[in-house]
Amino acid sequence: MTKKLRIGITCYPTVGGSGVVATELGKLLAEKGHEIHFISSGLPFRLRKMYHNIYYHQVEVNQYSVFQYPPYDIALASKMAEVIQRENLDLLHVHYAIPHAVCAILAKQMSGRDVKIVTTLHGTDITVLGYDLTLTDAIRFGIEKSDTVTAVSHSLINQTYELINPDKTIVPVYNFIDERVYKRQESAHLKEEFGIKPNEKVLIHVSNFRAVKRVPDVVKAFNQVAQKIDAKLLLIGDGPEITVVSKLVDKLNLRDKVLFLGKQDNLEELYSISDLMLLLSEKESFGLVALEAMACGVPCIGTNIGGLPEVIIDGVNGYICELGNVDEISRKALDILTDAKLHNHFSEQSLRVVNEKFRAEIIVEQYEALYYDLFKKG
Ligand code: GMT
């Protein structure tokens, strides 16, 4: 029997897609018999249930008056080193090149153990260079000194080579969903509770409302759709742009058609009452929420940005539109929403694409194979 591994996982527990993927991966690896140690500043969300082989080691970041900034990176590296030694970890799988890969490298040195380091790039750690070029060398260092580096899309790999040009092979490993959770379910009662009439089409957008998500484009496209057919828009999430979006909704006189639902768990129930997902970002290395929607049979419209065309296959399970082209987006949304045959087809294709490319079993096996490779190499 293959040896089960002791794996440390570090992510930002609250950040969104990367935290979700790290947590879900930890759970599925635990179900396969590996021992999982989450090392992070907060209990990773979506952990929800008790597992006998999942442990959580909290990183305490103290604010001493002598330090100008709380020393998160050093506190994390120290905690990682402590857990490597005490729990005899075989490997650390960290999410983000900075700061987490750099912390893992430091922790490995501090522990004096030959722990392997696997780093997954999610995009936000690379696109940060758009704002702060001084981090380039730190990101390259984190990538080059990791034993294995993965990225969540081919687009992100290309972008990383263009911007950082690390001397390292980066392996594509797509994100995945747990299809036991993300599946269409009976939630018709929710429609009634939200005051959505049976004839109304439901569009959905889920994000952290950062400017890069271009939520105003979602509202503008919805406005054009709602002028032609009866429809409601569900906006899920919260973040810096919420006020701008709310003002736009008022300006366009859409208050009774747009539902601001804030942050929500159990998204599968909301996808299950939705007819179309809009993800119109200007940066998106993958677009996990599109995948979640697809797994519930919801066709998606995304922008021709980053990894989105690798998830939403244009003309197969939805449409890819030019960034900011609200006319094109609303036209294609209407095509899907007014043609039941096309909608059904895209819905079925969404399930097929998820099953063939993004099923948890396939992706978790890819990560496991990469882990075991490291021990073969010695
Ligand atoms: O999109 C965000 O703002 C959150 C961010 C994160 O770091 O969690 O998401 C990134 O990682 C997700 C999981 O791999 C991807 O699905 C998102 O596309 C990616 N976000 C960006 O590239 C902007």
pLDDT in tens, 217-243: 999 999 999 999 999 999 999 999 999
* Position 279 pLDDT exceeds 60: yes
If asked whether residues 143 and 198 sit together in one domain, one would say: no
Please report the atom of ligand 1 found closest to the CA of residue 210: 3
pLDDT band at 69 (very low <50, low <70, confident <90, very high): confident
pLDDT reported for residue 127: 80
Sign of the CA dihedral running 66, 72, 78, 82: positive
* Position 90 pLDDT exceeds 90: yes
Report the CATH number that the domain containing residue 235 is assigned in CATH: 3.40.50.2000
If asked whether residues 298 and 324 sit together in one domain, one would say: yes
Residue 40 lies in a domain: yes
Please tell me the total count of domains within the chain.
2
- Mean of pLDDT values over 5-19: 90
Residue 194 lies in a domain: yes
Query: Which range marks the domain in which residue 86 is found?
Result: 6-176+359-376
For a mutational test of ligand 1's pocket, the pick from 40, 125, 286, i.e. the residue with the most ligand atoms closer than 8 A to its C-beta, is: 286
Q: Which residue has the higher pLDDT, 138 or 188?
A: 138
For a mutational test of ligand 1's pocket, the pick from 24, 122, 294, i.e. the residue with the most ligand atoms closer than 8 A to its C-beta, is: 122
Q: What are phi and psi of 329, to 5 degrees?
A: -60, -45
pLDDT in tens, 325-339: 999 999 999 999 999
Q: Mean pLDDT score of the chain, rounded to an integer?
A: 95
* Position 286 pLDDT exceeds 60: yes
Is residue 128 lining ligand 1, measured as CB closer than 6 Å?
A: no
Enter the ipTM: 0.98
Residue 253 lies in a domain: yes
If asked whether residues 334 and 363 sit together in one domain, one would say: no
Please report the atom of ligand 1 found closest to the CA of residue 125: 7
For the beta carbon of residue 33, count every other beta carbon within 10 angstroms: 12
Please report the atom of ligand 1 found closest to the CA of residue 120: 14
Residue 22 lies in a domain: yes
Please report the atom of ligand 1 found closest to the CA of residue 95: 7
- Cα(351)–Cα(291) distance, integer angstroms: 10
If asked whether residues 284 and 169 sit together in one domain, one would say: no
If asked whether residues 275 and 372 sit together in one domain, one would say: no
Residue 182 lies in a domain: no
If asked whether residues 75 and 157 sit together in one domain, one would say: yes
Cα dist. 314→172, 222, 318 in Å?
A: 21, 20, 6
Is residue 152 lining ligand 1, measured as CB closer than 6 Å?
A: yes
- Mean of pLDDT values over 75-94: 98
* Position 63 pLDDT exceeds 80: no
